[in-house]
Structure 1
Amino acid sequence: MLFIGLDIGTSATKCLLMDAEGRVLKVTSRSQRTAYPEPGWSEQDPAMWWESVRSGVRELLEGVDAGEVCAIGACGQMHGLVVLDEKDEVIRPAILWNDSRTRYQVSYLEREVGEAFISEQTGNRPYTGFTAPKLLWMREEEPVNFARIRKVMLPKDYVNFRLTGVHSTDYSDASGTLLLDVEHKCWSKPMLSICGLREAYMPQLFESWETIGEILPEVASELGLPPTVKVCAGAGDNASAAVGTGTVGPGRCNIVLGTAGTMLVTTDGYFTDRRNALHSFCSADGGFNLMGCILTAAGCNSWWMDDILGATDYEAEQARVQGGHLGHNDVYFLPYLMGERTPHNDPRARAAFLGMRIDTSRADMTQAVLEGVAYALNDCLNVVRSEEIQVLETSICGGGANSPLWRAIMADVLGIPLQVPTTEQSPALGAAILASVTSGLFPDVASAADALVRMEDDLVMPNRQIITLYQGRYNVWHSLYPAIKDFYQQIL
């Protein structure tokens, strides 16, 4: 038995082939372009995702007995607005999770509708990246396009539609639309009304492991797959990464160091924090979680290395940072290249270096970038801890987690051990694990993750002496955003 996991990411779409023992047999990747037509805008063509899947799956199956493939699971970037017309054709490019054009719509929701009411309806507060404000923007700025809407979907849901012809989504991904009643797992009629939508325009809701249908015969023929292959509803990328790292069941934590950074903590039932600083979402295993999100994590490192330094060898660049300098860096970096969510909810926030002197080195600034992201995730952890939720250790995945230096910094700043999965493709692996459940190989997600997820033997342990040093520097870093917050209002 073989299973395919698809990860519809921002920078790339990845396809993964997994066997019944959880071994990753092959991974393919297709880079993707993001368009920035206006400052703060971020868009992609959904046709590009489908083309990436088509070519990626065909490559994945080269030299493989495709008849052994039983099921496909997909995960993807959350919040992206995909709108289809009455002919199921894409109306406009998808507006992505890191698009900040909707700050006026968010202000409207906060002031006129009220944060308390929205939280009561959805478990969450409005953010510029969420789907509902994008719909309000479309209604105001593109009324002709808005009037054509007959189905609202998310990125991985569009791929599932192309695979099966079914309009579907899952609870984890729908949680980030600001249109789902997360607690009761149904579409919020008041929020749909506020956005000018009918419930018929929304996709059918499924649990992540549930089968939405079989692959269309013509698609099966094109990809070289049996027409009996099942497709499950899948999950948002962070919920899928939680499955791929074994973060299943209450009381567990996973950090994703991807383009954005997230900290997902599973909870014992539905829960919202007092300030709504964290997202209250459904998990891919049928439970619930709290999630903190920073909008640029590994994206900060890519910006620094690629665009500023022009460096292609990340490992060599990080080798300039001396291990003995950890906890001693007086250069600070605010990682707000795309604004920030947790805990500030400030789309106007911008990145900044502070504390540089005449003797500041290139290595100091590289180290500051890595530390700034770690400090921002520590902000998320402190909100979790303020709710008297204990986090004693965490798994960590994503491209940034490949760096031993960054893992050490993360462990020392957070003050907890890190578990590292044996594969860096945790979201795609999680999607394949969900596919194994929909095939009937396992009765539930928990048993599947327990059987299939593998972690490195050695934990990344924090250095107790460096923890103390980093605590002092984190306190300095944490004071910087409030000190320059008003400046952001002047420069935009």
Structure 2
Amino acid sequence: MYLGIDCGTQGTKALLIDEQGIAHGRGHATHQVIQRPSGAREQDPQWWIEALRLSVKQAVAQASGQPIEALAVSGQQHGLVILDERMQVIRPAKLWNDTETAPQNEELIARFGGQQAFFERFGIIPLTGYTVSKLLWLRQREPENFARIRHILLPHEYLNFWLTGNLFAEYGDASGTGYFDVRNRTWAAEVLASIDQGTGHLLRALPTLVPAQRIIGAVKPDVAADLGISNACLVASGGGDNMMGAIGTGNVIEGVVTMSLGTSATVYSFRNKPTASPNPSIAPFCSSSNGWLPLVCTMNATNVVTQILDTLGRTVIDIESALATTRPGADALTFIPFLNGERTPDLPSAQGSLLGISASNLTPENLIRATIEGVSFGILEGLDLILDGTSAKRILLIGGGSRSAHWRQLLADASGTDVHVPLEEEAGCLGACIQAIFAARGEMGSPETFIQICDRCSRLDDQRTASPNPVLASQYAQARAAYQHHRATQYGV
């Protein structure tokens, strides 16, 4: 048996599978989030430990005592956990969606000559929320805590430390810190030196980097006893939630795309080589499967759809009938869904717009369609960015939006690509399980490739596949062109 643990912002989930990817146990526990008007978003790492304990015990209890050979942890990206000389957490972890460090992010980029120069040196352009600006914020705002730092960890690395007592980092999650050279897969010492003024304090605090096939240790006896598993259970390197989500959806070869329609939307695709162009909309991460994983995120997705439905007095059930009874383009009604600002394009202060309103097209059904089209066209532009002129073989759709048959069909028609839905909804957990199998197989001298393991463990729900309708392709092309025209007119991009 293999255990995957996914520590997200809202909670931690656990999944137990066998060699064939069949689930034998599941668990879930929620987290609190500390929120402040300044934009701070923080969590006490102890909450993650308690949620891990609860969720894993739930999963193990369902598996009838079958031994667990290996596990891996998937964790929310970009969070900052700092430990003192006694290996104790110094302060709550600042999370990926913490925005009060935005001035520090701008300052760091400026120190290196701007976005182009930063990309040329390190292969990435840090965004607000990445780990690096949190370190500068600490130096400027909490110098006493900054001085106490002896170890710097990401969320999944901290949980690995709790499980094994060992300190390691892996390339995928590390590539989202902003102090990592994504081309050479090394820590960017220059970036850290610009924060600690060349003392080497921060570089010495970073864990050793390891590749995806590395076993970082075994579960400590006291932890194993508490969780109800064997202390012979091996722990793989794990990784960031997007990286584990890619593995869990079989996104380990070029041409496969994972698209997540949740509160925000993300789209990413495995690459054998790093991103060559410095587009600030693309996060040119490393994968946790020994490649690269360029990623685009939009801030407005199911959250906007839900808000429009609530305003109309409708529910998600009404999405199907609204899309079924309206035509592509919503009778020339266009909705720019930037209700929360936007990351792609980079418009943090933007507001939404409803354009092309007439007496004949302003109906609840058209408004629902226009909203879903606005969200979809935004993330499909992200898809175009990461594909960079190449074509996708298939799109793996996850998140809440994947549950709508007509939304899946809209994405297939608008992209011209087959849209599939994984049978296992918890892609992060499954990806962690698959990485655990991969690392354990290598450790035992019987290696398998990620492709081989994903082929048998990451299965599709064939009943929910959507294939593009060529008849509608031109209609969606016109609707996307109208969306892009209105957006350019409103926002200049």
- TM-score, with length taken from structure 2: 0.90
CA deviation profile, 1:210-260 (whole Å, cap 9, x unmatched): 211111111111111111111111121111111111111233222122333
SS at match of 1:21: coil
Q: Which amino acid aligns with 1:23?
A: I
**Bigger Cα displacement from structure 2, 60-69 vs 171-180:** 60-69
Deviation at residue 403 of structure 1 after TM alignment: 2.1
* Contact in 1 for aligned 2:320/2:405 (Cα 8 Å): no
Q: Which one of the candidate residues 368, 384, 387 is aligned to 2:386?
A: 384
Q: Structure 2: state its 5+ residue gaps.
A: none
Number of aligned residue pairs: 481
Partner of 1:214: 218
Deviation at residue 110 of structure 1 after TM alignment: 3.3
Partner of 2:31: 32
**Bigger Cα displacement from structure 2, 463-472 vs 242-251:** 463-472
- TM-score, with length taken from structure 1: 0.90
Structure 1 CA distance, aligned partners of 2:184 and 2:402? 35
Partner of 1:51: 50
CA deviation profile, 1:65-105 (whole Å, cap 9, x unmatched): 43511111111221122222222222222222222223322
**Bigger Cα displacement from structure 2, 441-450 vs 478-487:** 478-487
Q: Which amino acid aligns with 1:289?
A: L
Partner of 1:455: 460
Structure 2 CA distance, aligned partners of 1:364 and 1:36? 36
* Contact in 2 for aligned 1:98/1:129 (Cα 8 Å): yes
Structure 2 CA distance, aligned partners of 1:21 and 1:424? 16
Structure 2 CA distance, aligned partners of 1:50 and 1:427? 18
Change over 3 Å in CA distance of 1:46–1:290 after alignment to 2:
same
CA deviation profile, 1:260-293 (whole Å, cap 9, x unmatched): 3221122232232253431212112111232212
* Contact in 1 for aligned 2:247/2:434 (Cα 8 Å): yes
1:286-365 correspondence runs (5 A): 286-304=290-308, 314=316, 316-329=317-330, 330-342=332-344, 344-356=345-357, 360-365=362-367
Change over 3 Å in CA distance of 1:295–1:150 after alignment to 2:
farther
Change over 3 Å in CA distance of 1:298–1:122 after alignment to 2:
farther
* Contact in 2 for aligned 1:209/1:445 (Cα 8 Å): no
> Could you tell me the percent identity over the aligned residues?
31
SS at match of 1:395: strand
1:92-171 correspondence runs (5 A): 92-114=91-113, 115-171=115-171
SS at match of 2:61: coil
Partner of 1:3: 2
Structure 2 CA distance, aligned partners of 1:336 and 1:154? 30
Partner of 1:465: 471
Structure 1 CA distance, aligned partners of 2:334 and 2:41? 27
Partner of 1:490: none
Structure 2 CA distance, aligned partners of 1:44 and 1:19? 33
Structure 2 CA distance, aligned partners of 1:90 and 1:57? 23
Change over 3 Å in CA distance of 1:151–1:483 after alignment to 2:
farther
* Contact in 2 for aligned 1:250/1:267 (Cα 8 Å): yes
Change over 3 Å in CA distance of 1:185–1:465 after alignment to 2:
same
Structure 1 CA distance, aligned partners of 2:491 and 2:390? 29
Change over 3 Å in CA distance of 1:419–1:222 after alignment to 2:
same
Q: Structure 1: state its 5+ residue gaps.
A: 488-492
CA deviation profile, 1:131-162 (whole Å, cap 9, x unmatched): 11222222222222222222222122222121
SS at match of 1:128: coil
* Contact in 1 for aligned 2:25/2:63 (Cα 8 Å): no
Structure 2 CA distance, aligned partners of 1:50 and 1:68? 22
**Bigger Cα displacement from structure 2, 13-22 vs 64-73:** 64-73
Q: Which amino acid aligns with 2:211?
A: E
* Contact in 1 for aligned 2:28/2:54 (Cα 8 Å): no
- Is residue 245 from structure 1 mapped to residue 244 from structure 2 by the alignment? no
Q: Which one of the candidate residues 473, 476, 482 is aligned to 1:476?
A: 482
SS at match of 1:360: coil
Deviation at residue 381 of structure 1 after TM alignment: 2.0
Q: Which amino acid aligns with 1:294?
A: T
RMSD: 2.5
Q: Which one of the candidate residues 233, 236, 243 is aligned to 2:240?
A: 236
Deviation at residue 179 of structure 1 after TM alignment: 0.9
Change over 3 Å in CA distance of 1:142–1:345 after alignment to 2:
farther
SS at match of 2:4: strand
Q: Which one of the candidate residues 353, 374, 377 is aligned to 2:376?
A: 374
Structure 1 CA distance, aligned partners of 2:37 and 2:480? 34
Structure 2 CA distance, aligned partners of 1:129 and 1:238? 15
* Contact in 2 for aligned 1:238/1:256 (Cα 8 Å): no
* Contact in 1 for aligned 2:25/2:62 (Cα 8 Å): no
* Contact in 1 for aligned 2:124/2:181 (Cα 8 Å): no
Partner of 2:421: 420
Q: Which amino acid aligns with 2:460?
A: M
Deviation at residue 350 of structure 1 after TM alignment: 4.1
Q: Which amino acid aligns with 2:297?
A: C
Change over 3 Å in CA distance of 1:241–1:63 after alignment to 2:
closer
Change over 3 Å in CA distance of 1:222–1:141 after alignment to 2:
same
* Contact in 2 for aligned 1:253/1:265 (Cα 8 Å): yes
Structure 2 CA distance, aligned partners of 1:336 and 1:416? 26
- Is residue 191 from structure 1 mapped to residue 191 from structure 2 by the alignment? yes
Deviation at residue 355 of structure 1 after TM alignment: 4.6
Deviation at residue 340 of structure 1 after TM alignment: 2.9
Change over 3 Å in CA distance of 1:152–1:354 after alignment to 2:
farther
Change over 3 Å in CA distance of 1:3–1:146 after alignment to 2:
same
Change over 3 Å in CA distance of 1:98–1:483 after alignment to 2:
farther
SS at match of 1:267: coil
Structure 2 CA distance, aligned partners of 1:30 and 1:353? 39
Q: Which amino acid aligns with 1:375?
A: F
* Contact in 1 for aligned 2:260/2:267 (Cα 8 Å): yes
Q: Which one of the candidate residues 273, 279, 285 is aligned to 2:277?
A: 273
Change over 3 Å in CA distance of 1:413–1:35 after alignment to 2:
farther
